[in-house]
Amino acid sequence: MSANSPPGKSDGGDPQDNRSLPSVPPNAMENLGARIRDLDVDSIRRYLAQKLGFYDQIESSTSSEKVLDEVSLEGIVNWIKSERCKNIITLAGAGISTSAGIPDFRSPETGLYHNLQKYDLPEPQAIFEINFFRQNPKPFFMLAKELYPGSFKPTPSHYFIRLLHEKGLLLRHYTQNIDTLERCAGIPEEKLVEAHGTFYTSHCLDCRKEYPLEFVKEHIFTDQIPICTVCPGIVKPDIVFFGESLPERFQRCLQEDFQHCDMLIIMGSSLEVQPFASLIDMVPDWCPRLLINREKAGVRSPLLRLWGVMGGGLQLDDDSVRDVARLGDCDDGAQDLADRLGWGDELRALVASEHERLDREGRVPAAFPSRSGCTPVSTTLTEHKL
C-alpha cells in the first residue's frame, strides 16, 4: 500500500505473491460429476419433498445475517456511501460494450456466434480454439478485421468504473472483454485485470517474441496473416483462446484482491464462462453484491447449492440479504447508480468531455490507443495472404 492510499485500501498495484491462498478460483464443474455420483437417493427424495411442500425445510444454523439496511438499490447506495465501503471490485462482460457497437457473443440474431456461418467453421467456437487456429488462422484474422474498432468509444459504463477509481473506491476491475475500451476510458493499467486477454499486445506462438498492436493491425488490414520476424511462427493477439491458460496476472491478483473486497459490482456478464463466473463466490460472505445486467445471472440451481456441488451464486429472491439486481441496459444502470450516489452530473460531464476529446484527437480506432514506448514494427517481411 502506498503512502497516497486511503486508510484500509490497497493501492491497486500488483499484489504480493507470499500469500498461501488458492492461485485459481474454484472451478465448480471439474468435480461436479464425482460429487453427484456420491449423492444418495434419500437426499434426493428429501430435496423433492421440500420443494413439493411435504415438510418444511430445516433452517440452516449458519444462515446469513442481513447485511444491507435494505436489500435494494437504495441499500447498495447507502452501503457505498458508508465508511465500510473502501474496496470495490467490478466484474464486467460484453454487456458494457454493446452500446459502443461491439457485439456480444451469445445474443440471438445479433451475437457474434450467431453470425459466423460465412467462415465455414466446424462449430462457432472453433474460431477461438487454439488448435483450430494453429491449423487455420485465416477465419480468426478475417473476423478480427471486422471487429477492429472504427470509431468505438468507451460507454458510460466504462466511465462509471473510472469514476469509482477517481473517488478512491476501485480496488480492481476484472473484465472478460478483449476490446481494450477500459484502457481508452482512462482506467489505469494497474487497476485492470483483463481475464480473457487483450488485443493490446501479441506474441509469436513459437518463439514468444512480443509485438505491439500496430504490427498486427497493419497486417490484418492488408489481408495478411502476421508472421514473426524471427521465426516462421504465427503472431497471435494475446487474447485467451479455448485451450489456453488465463493470464498469470489474473491468477496472481485474485489471490490478494477478493479477501479485501467490501463491495462487488457485476456489469453486463452472463456469468456462464468459468472460471470468471466463480469469482462472485470469492468475496467474503458479508460483502454486498450488485448485478447490473439485462437479465438475472449467476443464480445457481437450488439443488446443487443444497448439496454444495457449486458455489452459492447470487441470491436474487425475497430471501436475499446482500444481493441486488438492477435489470436493464448497463449504461442506464450505471447512470442510475451514479445519480443516486450524487455523481450523476459528474458522470455525464465525463462522458461528454472524453468523447469530445477522442473526436478532437482523431482517435480512430479510439478503443485501441498506441502503446507508450512501442514503435510499430516494419512489415517488410515474408507474409501470408489471408
Half-sphere exposure of 38 (CA within 13 A, CB side): 9
Are 262 and 84 in contact, with CB atoms under 8 Å apart? Answer: yes
Helix (H, G, I), strand (E, B) or coil at 116: coil
Q: Hunting for cell 452530473 — which residue is that?
A: 345
Report the amino acid identity of residue 20: S
Query: What is the number of alpha carbons within 13 Å of residue 225 lying toward its C-beta?
Result: 18
DSSP 305: H
Does 85 belong to an annotated binding site?
Answer: no
Is 330 labelled a binding residue? no
Distance CA 43, CA 62 (A): 20
Contact predicate 16/10, CB 8 Å: no
Q: Containing H/E element for 69?
A: none
Query: What would the grid cell of residue 359 be?
Result: 473526436
DSSP 329-361: -HHHHHHHHHHHHT-HHHHHHHHHHHHHHHHHT
> How far apart, in whole angstroms, are the C-alpha atoms of residue 268 and residue 179?
14
Question: Binding site annotation covers 184?
Answer: no
With beta carbons less than 8 A apart as the criterion, state whether 185 and 158 touch.
yes
The strand pair at 235-239 and 263-267 is best described as unpaired
Q: Is 287 annotated as a binding residue?
A: no
196 is catalytic: yes
Comparing C-alpha atoms, which of 270, 263, 211 is closest to residue 237? 211
- Asked whether 268 and 95 are in contact (CB, 8 A), the reply is yes
Distance separating alpha carbons of residues 153 and 366, to the nearest angstrom: 6
Among the listed residues 158, 165, 173, 196, the single catalytic one is 196
Which residue ranges are tagged as binding site for Zn(2+)?
Answer: 204, 207, 228, 231
Which residues are documented as binding site?
Answer: 204, 207, 228, 231
Residues carrying an active site annotation:
196
